[in-house]
Amino acid sequence: MNNSLSCQIAGILFPNPIILASGILGITPGSMLRLAHAGIGGITTKTVGPRVRPGYSNPSIIEIGEGTFLNSVGLANPGIDQMEIEIKEYKQQSSIPLIVSVFGDGPEGYAEIARRAEKAGADAIEINISCPHAEVASIALSEELTIEFTKAVKRAVSIPVFAKLTPNIADIIPIAKATEKAGADAIVAINTLRGLALDYKTGRPLLSHGIGGLSGKAIKSVGVRVIYELYPHISIPLIGVGGIFTWQDVLEYIYAGASTIQIGSALFQGDEIIPEILDGLFEFLKENQIENLNQIRGKAHEYSSELEVMPKECL
């Protein structure tokens, strides 16, 4: 049997399902190329906007539990002028697909950054409408704004557009449907969860900005739950993100309904995690005679009818 980890999203062929999540290492061509050499299947850049943005001062990222982080980087980025140079340099040296994450001033601002990223060589655009410690947080809380921003970017480029959604909402399904209706080619979920850590002696917030975004091990079950909830309602591909550290974590997301995944905080442990996850996945497919991940995508839903629900008379 020919087992393969490759996967196709919106016509883009990723050699394997591990894509770098936005904001983690995807800033310089050097770090992106290093990850490509380590075997990553796709790269998402740091979210880039119209101009240099310093972000919040340190401490802007802290580890609050083993493999669990709180950050308020605040969309620090080098600006699109610099990113264009970096996209070109990366594309000259690597064929691993490059997704450029963008934000801007209003829908047209997003569209302009996306247009420039496409021209520089991006394979896809990810619209960040969900960062919990920046102005863009509110976009993916509104169906109208989600449609407006997604449509503006779709109109501006001919490469695929992925929309990155927030878990900081009671019901994510209407927002996901709105992105689909606006023509998004895939949904990326989840961005970080709003969190706060305090100094137990003084009560002072530990991050310079106060509230930040929670990522890493603690959020995996939230990400898996979001993908699980979206899968029956959404027909565009779902890209699962949040707390993935092992090959077993990847499988959970695929069973929930993800077509592929992104990995962020786990890379703070080092690049070795990439071949470790790939080896584990490959062995699992081989041992279980599974040709590719599509075969097991959404498998968790086969058990829906077996899950317990409270009988009406108990309500």
Ligand X SMILES: Cc1cc2nc3c(=O)[nH]c(=O)nc-3n(C[C@H](O)[C@H](O)[C@H](O)COP(=O)(O)O)c2cc1C
Binder among 19, 61, 87, 226 for ligand X (CB under 6 A): 61
Q: Which stretch binds ligand X (CB under 6 A): 89-97, 140-148, 214-222, 303-311?
A: 214-222
* Whether 112 contacts 50, CB under 8 Å: yes
Q: Which stretch binds ligand X (CB under 6 A): 28-36, 85-93, 259-267, 270-278?
A: 259-267
* Whether 12 contacts 97, CB under 8 Å: yes
Select 4 or 210, whichever has its Cβ closest to ligand X. Answer: 210
Sites for ligand X among residues 129-148 (CB under 6 A): 131
How far apart are CB 170 and ligand X at their closest, in Å? Answer: 19
Q: Which stretch binds ligand X (CB under 6 A): 9-17, 166-174, 212-220, 293-301?
A: 212-220
How far apart are CB 184 and ligand X at their closest, in Å? Answer: 14
- Marked catalytic residue, from 100, 114, 131, 176: 131
> How long is the chain?
315
Minimal CA–CA distance to 251: which of 5, 1, 2, 3? 5
Minimal CA–CA distance to 171: which of 130, 226, 214? 226
* Cα(121)–Cα(89) distance, integer angstroms: 10
Q: Is 24 in the site for ligand X (CB under 6 A)?
A: yes
Q: Does residue 131 have an active-site annotation?
A: yes
Strand order of the β-sheet with 193-195 is: 61-65, 68-71, 212-216, 193-195
* Cα(114)–Cα(125) distance, integer angstroms: 6
Binder among 156, 164, 258, 298 for ligand X (CB under 6 A): 164
* Whether 165 contacts 216, CB under 8 Å: no
Residues that bind ligand X (CB under 6 A): 21-24, 46-47, 61, 69, 71, 73, 75, 101, 128, 131, 164, 191-192, 215-216, 219, 241-244, 263-266
Residues annotated as catalytic (active site), given as ranges: 131
